């Protein structure tokens, strides 16, 4: 009797170091130009090679501009070095690189599942806190620091303190118009931004099983905002259908053998968890953050709490008890490793189609990868957005993360499909409200925070 986490963990223990810590075999390392360049450079300077370059992948997503025709341009002052140094170091190390102009370029946590680089049962690390996203594929994937990345690159192992286990079971079905993003915000608002600290969180239950693959990635993405070591979901037919035929996924007879093995990656009946939470799916409604922590989130038709923290209120320019719906916005952002996949853009486009972004609102759509961008363009979604008044960008992290250049302005109120709303996250003084892509789309049209269910069509 073992949980999903315990199964993957025990398959990867190379040696026990002490009661709490083990040396863990690392199957895949992913890097990006913001932190990966640091790790690769420092390793090269120490004269140590990458032990298995075929298992290491790097992409350009954080610093690179997302403006059309970008080339190596960046909005970050002094940021060019991150791009060129990553390129040079990646080539020298012989690792796989998704360069700026590559067909496969995109946000690390979008590209990795898309190409079947992350697979059920594997361990994957990346010096990026949202690596937990990839746990949705039934993998053990977590964010590390640059020094740890060096160790993993050089040895194919990592010393890891074993996290505790938590299971969040979501019973019943999410109502129409309620998304995985709303579920993630509900969970964090309810149990707190530190609710998952030191735990590997397995998401389970009927509502999670019913989520399509891309929505599962959205749910696991925000395990880090829950404070968790990582999030993960047992792989099932949804996972296998998604992975079949992807470039780095096994093929032919190896595929069949892999699926047979992956089917065992479930928490056995009677598995013990350090913490268990149960949520009823019918309690989950569309959510929006009002404050500067993700736990400061309420129902879209709710109000800022009466006992809201003064500092958050001041930063956000709000008053306790104020309704969230109807707050005027001047920025709207659809993108990020949380919500920039094809299905996210499709759902947003369904709301935007035939409508116009409100006057005075700067609205952007930034696809998560070049593959998402191509697929969206083939379906005509770019035209839907552009005709409505959205900017249509190249793929990358873009305005999810203020890298020192492009930003929404100070005191601008922005509705955003991203995952972080802390002070100055999207630019100095910018006020970020986190929500689903549907809510962002509806709010861009309304010019104020709006309930996307009012904009749904038949």
Ligand X SMILES: CC(C)[C@H](C(=O)O)[C@@H](O)C(=O)O
| Ramachandran class of 66: left when φ > 0, alpha when ψ lies in -120 to 50, beta otherwise | alpha
| Least distance between ligand X and beta carbon 455 (Å) | 29
Query: What are the C-alpha distances in Å from 123 to residues 152, 331, 414, 415?
Result: 11, 38, 36, 34
By CB under 6 A, tell whether 337 contacts ligand SF4: yes
| Least distance between ligand X and beta carbon 194 (Å) | 17
Query: What are the C-alpha distances in Å from 167 to residues 4, 201, 260, 326, 428?
Result: 10, 6, 24, 36, 37
By CB under 6 A, tell whether 397 contacts ligand SF4: yes
| Least distance between ligand SF4 and beta carbon 109 (Å) | 6
Q: How many whole angstroms separate alpha carbon 237 and alpha carbon 352?
A: 32
Toward ligand X, which CB reaches closer, 143 or 427?
143
By CB under 6 A, tell whether 107 contacts ligand SF4: yes
User: Tell me, what DSSP letter sits at residue 403?
Assistant: -
| Pairing mode of beta strands 28-32, 123-126 | parallel
By CB under 6 A, tell whether 128 contacts ligand X: yes
Question: Which among ligand X, ligand SF4, none contacts residue 336 (Cβ within 5 to 8 A by kind)?
Answer: ligand SF4
Fill in the per-residue mask, 48 to 67: x = in contact with ligand X (CB under 6 A), - = not in contact.
--------------x-----
Task: Provide the greatest CA pair distance for the chain.
Answer: 62
By CB under 6 A, tell whether 336 contacts ligand SF4: yes
Closest C-alpha to 231, from 4, 22, 437, 2: 4
Toward ligand X, which CB reaches closer, 35 or 267?
35
| Least distance between ligand X and beta carbon 223 (Å) | 12
By CB under 6 A, tell whether 255 contacts ligand SF4: no
Question: Which among ligand X, ligand SF4, none contacts residue 35 (Cβ within 5 to 8 A by kind)?
Answer: ligand X
Give the interface segment with ligand SF4, choosing from 141-149, 203-211, 252-260, 393-401 (CB under 6 A).
Answer: 393-401
Q: Measured at CB, which residue is nearest to ligand X?
A: 129
| Least distance between ligand X and beta carbon 35 (Å) | 5
By CB under 6 A, tell whether 401 contacts ligand X: yes
Q: How many whole angstroms separate alpha carbon 6 and alpha carbon 84?
A: 40
Q: How many whole angstroms separate alpha carbon 162 and alpha carbon 146?
A: 19
Q: How many whole angstroms separate alpha carbon 429 and alpha carbon 314?
A: 11
Closest C-alpha to 51, from 42, 43, 63, 41: 43
Toward ligand SF4, which CB reaches closer, 267 or 395?
395
By CB under 6 A, tell whether 292 contacts ligand X: no
Tell me the two tokens of residue 3: 């949980």
Among 33, 114, 128, 344, binds ligand SF4 (CB under 6 A): 128
Phi, psi of 102 (to 5 degrees): -75, 145
Q: How many whole angstroms separate alpha carbon 392 and alpha carbon 388?
A: 11
Q: How many whole angstroms separate alpha carbon 187 and alpha carbon 224?
A: 12
| Least distance between ligand X and beta carbon 211 (Å) | 22
Tell me the two tokens of residue 343: 């299905």
Footprint (CB under 6 A) of ligand X, residues 142-161: 143
Residues that bind ligand SF4 (CB under 6 A): 61-62, 107, 128, 130, 336-337, 397, 400-401, 418-419
Residues that bind ligand X (CB under 6 A): 34-35, 62, 128-130, 143, 401
């Amino acid at each position: 009797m073992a949980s999903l986490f315990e199964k993957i963990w025990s398959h990867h223990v190379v040696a026990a170091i002490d009661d709490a810590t083990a040396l863990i075999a690392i199957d895949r390392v992913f890097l990006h130009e913001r932190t990966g360049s640091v790790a690769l450079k420092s390793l090269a300077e120490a004269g140590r090679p990458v032990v298995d370059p075929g298992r290491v992948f790097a992409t350009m997503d954080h610093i690179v501009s997302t403006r059309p025709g970008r080339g190596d341009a960046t909005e970050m002052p002094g940021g060019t070095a991150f791009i060129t140094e990553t390129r040079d170091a990646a080539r020298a190390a012989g690792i796989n690189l998704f360069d700026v102009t590559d067909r496969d370029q995109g946000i690390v946590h979008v590209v990795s599942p898309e190409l079947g680089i992350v697979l059920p049962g594997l361990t994957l690390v990346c010096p990026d806190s949202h690596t937990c996203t990839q746990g949705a594929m039934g993998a053990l994937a977590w964010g590390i620091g640059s020094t740890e990345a060096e160790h993993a690159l050089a040895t194919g192992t990592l010393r890891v303190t074993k996290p505790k286990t938590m299971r969040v079971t979501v019973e019943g079905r999410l109502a129409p118009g309620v998304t995985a993003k709303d579920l993630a915000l509900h969970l964090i608002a309810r149990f707190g931004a530190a609710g998952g600290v030191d735990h590997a969180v397995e998401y389970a239950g009927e509502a999670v099983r019913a989520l399509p693959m891309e929505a599962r990635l959205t749910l696991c993405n925000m395990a880090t905002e829950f404070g968790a070591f990582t999030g993960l979901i047992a792989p099932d037919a949804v996972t296998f259908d998604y992975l079949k035929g992807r470039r780095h996924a096994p093929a032919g007879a190896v595929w069949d053998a892999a699926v047979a093995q992956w089917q065992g990656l479930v928490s056995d009946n009677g598995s013990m968890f350090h913490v268990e939470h149960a949520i009823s799916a019918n309690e989950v409604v569309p959510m929006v953050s009002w404050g500067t922590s993700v736990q400061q989130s309420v129902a879209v038709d709710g109000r800022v709490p009466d006992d809201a923290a003064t500092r958050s209120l001041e930063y956000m320019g709000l008053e306790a008890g104020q309704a969230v719906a109807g707050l005027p916005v001047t920025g709207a952002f659809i993108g990020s490793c949380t919500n920039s996949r094809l299905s996210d853009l499709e759902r947003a486009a369904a709301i935007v189609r035939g409508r116009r972004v409100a006057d005075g609102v700067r609205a952007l759509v930034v696809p998560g990868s070049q593959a998402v961008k191509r697929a969206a363009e083939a379906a005509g979604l770019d035209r839907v957005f552009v005709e409505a008044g959205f900017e249509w960008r190249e793929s990358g992290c873009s305005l999810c993360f203020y890298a020192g250049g492009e930003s929404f302005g100070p005191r601008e109120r922005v509705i955003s499909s991203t995952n972080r709303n802390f002070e100055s996250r999207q630019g100095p003084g910018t006020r970020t409200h986190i929500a689903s892509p549907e809510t962002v789309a509806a709010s861009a049209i309304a010019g104020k925070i709006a309930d996307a269910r009012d904009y749904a069509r038949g």
